[in-house]
Structure 1
């Protein structure tokens, strides 16, 4: 990009006087720009023609001329940004931004939020961290999970207004009377993001690949075989009835990518850019369900935007703001909710804590006001009073049992658990118990080889669109439980879950799962600590934004009114 080099040279000319007129020579300017005097004269002529500066030379070798600046590098860069964004040259925009990292936040914010680009509605979202690759199976972050649901499609899918799965790639399904054979009938209008029709054999290959992943194999442990008895049909044959099967297939981890390219799906948006600085989605013209109202969605990953002291447009990962910097003070909350997901405390069985001691510890946390006193942003969290709505926490008589002299706590992200761990250590120290802390720098327990040595653990449990099913999936697939439960307890748990999944009726199945968790909470194995308060704020003009279960919003429903005549933004 030739203009980048010219802007870079202009920045070198500007810096010594910060834009004030300079008395200098061509030789000095050439040295500053690392070029010959002949090239320096050519550069000055080009910059004059562009209207960036004026150069008034003095006759005579070595005489000092006057260099006057008409614009600043910042304004030039902003104009270039607007031009390349209008042309859809996103990588050139990023290259421009990288010229001056200290100016990145101020440079990008005018282009964030809802914009129209070449008569196409585009939503640009500032984000505080690079996104992890969208690999098949489970993903650790809420943003990645949400993106997977926008890019890929499954045989079934959750919709916002219902806790039950609906048809997606399959328009409907049927189950045999014994619950062992399920047939999913595929739509005839399915297309991959590259425009090619979806073949039943491709979906079969993709699902077979999913079953090679250990966590997914555990999730579908009841599946004996998957085949295609005829065109546009996938048949699941089970070892034992599993009436969670449509729920399992509607979870983002079971969505299907192209067998030859795991970044190509057939969801409402196709992935057109995925770099550490920019992720771009564009609407899929051949999508088989309701078409998106936005043409494109972009994540601009700029850590500088996540700076509370500077009034950033990304206050916290659970509180997202869509808008430009000058609008931040005027943004209105358009959707908020208490997350059903929760941060939790777990107690390792057959460790140093007995049931009575675990109960005393849990009672201490919930009854001491420790969570209410956490020095966190007001309104960010709320103490958990139940595991899910209607799933009350057990109440025990006061526990006077003495705690062990030493305990070990392992915890992972989010950062609020670091504050919680410090508070708990202080509380236990006042009771004569020394708490040793170990931080696992991740969003889940994968890769934590020392977890089996912990007396207690703290982590974050995300809840998807179907809360009861999500908790069943957690018990089956999370690396936490083999490290928390004894082998006998884990075998009993799986046998119980296999029994629960046999109930065809949703309410009966949910009630049975509730009893499983109540038993675990009563035994002091697990307890929720606090929930987050999800919030999305936006300026007027960004419509259709409604929080989903993961604290994001369905990109297919968001829309922007067309700009007024002559006011189209970059």
Structure 2
């Protein structure tokens, strides 16, 4: 960046001379700038033209001339940074910045939240970490999954607040042969973000690829054949009836992307810029459904905002808390949406390893629930809520005092191992559980897995306990059914007989056309898993979005983000002539 290089050169000069006029030769200045005398004269001319220095030269080689710096490097950086921000050159501004975090926050804050830029509504969101590459086949972060559903379309999709899948690229679908043949009738004139037509044969090829993909094959392992009966129809022939199939096609693992570019999709927003310091989404001009009001959405990757004392006013204190707004609006910011996550952090117990019996597993669960462990964690309890049910209407097994007394005579093993992954709350649970089990004469060895998903069953077979986080989307029942199919957790913790029984039960459940009957049978299966101690929900997050009055249409999704397609900003107030 040329401007940054010039500012660095000016910094060297200022470090040598300060604001006091100095008599100096061009050769001495060349040594300061680490360049030739010819280039030094060019720099001096540029600095003088810009008003940074006063320079009076004298004819003759080796003659001393007077030079005076007129501005401090900090003031120059700040003024150019402000100019770049005002012009919308955010990436250049963040690269230029060498200010301390609090000073930088003061400049950045007015540019966050809702803004109109070149007559287009733009929403800017400060974010605390770098983003993963937005390939739906590889990403794991909650924010990235939300963005993927914004960038990419599927044959079906989930709409905020609706548990049933809705048409997306498919205008509608038909089911025949008692749930074994599904025909999806595509909308005409579909386009990728790059302007190329989205063709039916491309979708066929993508689904054939998905059938071999580790991320997607579990959703499609019942598919026997994929065909194209006519130009705008895609047909799936299933081995067994599956009335979850439209739900599966709306899942992250079945989002469709351009065959040669995984970040190019057909969703309401396209990826316009992706860099470590900024991610920008812009409206897809050829979107096939109702286009959003917002023209662009930007994530400013600004971890320094979260390290300063004003972080509570500029952005979220925690990934489940999002705050939108300009600095001068912060006094007006109020929570506009709150919800309890359907997803939950959980404890899983490995009964396949045989280091723990069902009775011992049940004792560990009873100890957690009666010890107050979750209530006494050193966390902000407005962020989490102790789980009382797996899903609304799906109660946990009764945890009575008598049940705990039943396990008094059950001795735990002398040593157990535990594996946990993010979020940070699970590390605190692991530490508290270590203390709790030590009181029972059991040493707990804890290990950290940095990924947000388990890699494979082999990673889990060697440990006895696991702490994980289960995200749940708009269709909670279908998500839990999919969890049993996709997560390597179950292959690691269930015995072969229990795994076979689960697979047969899932096969039976999927063949019921009645959604309420499918839910009833799946609820009974999870209740049995909880009774045995295999899985126990621990706590749910309390999602919250806060915004000043100018940001409207904020609606929380099941992911804890807000629906980008529904948010809107009022136009700027015109000043009277």
Q: Give the TM-score taking structure 2 as reference length.
A: 0.91
Aligned to 1:365: 368
Q: CA deviation at 1:276?
A: 2.3
Task: Give the Cα separation in 2 of the matches to 1:321 and 1:546.
Answer: 13
State whether residues 305 and 314 of structure 1, in contact with CA within 8 Å, keep that contact through their aligned partners in structure 2: no
Task: Give the Cα separation in 1 of the matches to 2:442 and 2:331.
Answer: 46
**Map of 1:68-79 to 2, 5 A cutoff?**
68-69=70-71, 72-79=75-82
From 362, 383, 392, the counterpart of 1:380: 383
Change (3 A) 1:73 1:404: same
Aligned to 1:25: 24
Change (3 A) 1:165 1:276: same
Structure 1: segments with no counterpart, 5+ residues: none
From 388, 402, 412, the counterpart of 1:403: 412
Q: Secondary structure at the match of 1:69?
A: coil
Q: Secondary structure at the match of 2:559?
A: coil
State whether residues 273 and 280 of structure 1, in contact with CA within 8 Å, keep that contact through their aligned partners in structure 2: yes
Aligned to 1:151: 151
State whether residues 51 and 70 of structure 2, in contact with CA within 8 Å, keep that contact through their aligned partners in structure 1: no
**Map of 1:288-367 to 2, 5 A cutoff?**
288-307=288-307, 309-311=309-311, 313-325=315-327, 327-328=329-330, 330-350=332-352, 351-367=354-370
**Map of 1:50-449 to 2, 5 A cutoff?**
50-55=50-55, 61-62=63-64, 65-69=67-71, 72-82=75-85, 84-85=87-88, 89=89, 91-97=91-97, 105-137=105-137, 139-307=139-307, 309-311=309-311, 313-325=315-327, 327-328=329-330, 330-350=332-352, 351-396=354-399, 397-398=403-404, 399-400=407-408, 401-446=410-455, 449=458
Q: CA deviation at 1:56?
A: 6.7
Task: Give the Cα separation in 2 of the matches to 1:302 and 1:527.
Answer: 36
Change (3 A) 1:315 1:57: farther
Q: CA deviation at 1:448?
A: 7.5
Between 191-200 and 421-430, the greater mean CA deviation after superposition = 191-200
Change (3 A) 1:453 1:284: same
State whether residues 84 and 90 of structure 2, in contact with CA within 8 Å, keep that contact through their aligned partners in structure 1: no
Task: Give the Cα separation in 1 of the matches to 2:440 and 2:552.
Answer: 53
Q: Does 1:482 align with 2:485?
A: no
Q: CA deviation at 1:508?
A: 0.9
Q: Secondary structure at the match of 2:289?
A: coil
State whether residues 333 and 547 of structure 2, in contact with CA within 8 Å, keep that contact through their aligned partners in structure 1: yes
State whether residues 457 and 488 of structure 2, in contact with CA within 8 Å, keep that contact through their aligned partners in structure 1: no
From 493, 503, 521, the counterpart of 2:512: 503
Q: CA deviation at 1:471?
A: 0.6
Aligned length: 562
Task: Give the Cα separation in 2 of the matches to 1:13 and 1:76.
Answer: 19
Q: Secondary structure at the match of 1:522?
A: helix
Encode CA deviations 1:354-404: one digit per residue, 9 max, x unaligned. 111111111111121111111012411111111111111102522212222
State whether residues 11 and 73 of structure 1, in contact with CA within 8 Å, keep that contact through their aligned partners in structure 2: no
Q: Secondary structure at the match of 1:115?
A: strand
Encode CA deviations 1:114-168: one digit per residue, 9 max, x unaligned. 2222222211211112211222436311111111110110111111132111111
State whether residues 552 and 567 of structure 2, in contact with CA within 8 Å, keep that contact through their aligned partners in structure 1: yes
State whether residues 358 and 533 of structure 2, in contact with CA within 8 Å, keep that contact through their aligned partners in structure 1: yes
Q: Does 1:554 align with 2:563?
A: yes
State whether residues 404 and 433 of structure 1, in contact with CA within 8 Å, keep that contact through their aligned partners in structure 2: yes
Between 51-60 and 474-483, the greater mean CA deviation after superposition = 51-60
Task: Give the Cα separation in 1 of the matches to 2:79 and 2:34.
Answer: 21
Structure 2: segments with no counterpart, 5+ residues: none
Task: Give the Cα separation in 2 of the matches to 1:460 and 1:439.
Answer: 14
Aligned Cα RMSD in Å? 2.5
Between 445-454 and 391-400, the greater mean CA deviation after superposition = 445-454
State whether residues 54 and 67 of structure 2, in contact with CA within 8 Å, keep that contact through their aligned partners in structure 1: no
Aligned to 1:517: 526
Change (3 A) 1:332 1:524: same
Task: Give the Cα separation in 2 of the matches to 1:251 and 1:446.
Answer: 19
State whether residues 24 and 67 of structure 1, in contact with CA within 8 Å, keep that contact through their aligned partners in structure 2: no
Task: Give the Cα separation in 1 of the matches to 2:392 and 2:527.
Answer: 13
State whether residues 349 and 464 of structure 2, in contact with CA within 8 Å, keep that contact through their aligned partners in structure 1: yes
Between 112-121 and 221-230, the greater mean CA deviation after superposition = 112-121
State whether residues 26 and 40 of structure 1, in contact with CA within 8 Å, keep that contact through their aligned partners in structure 2: no
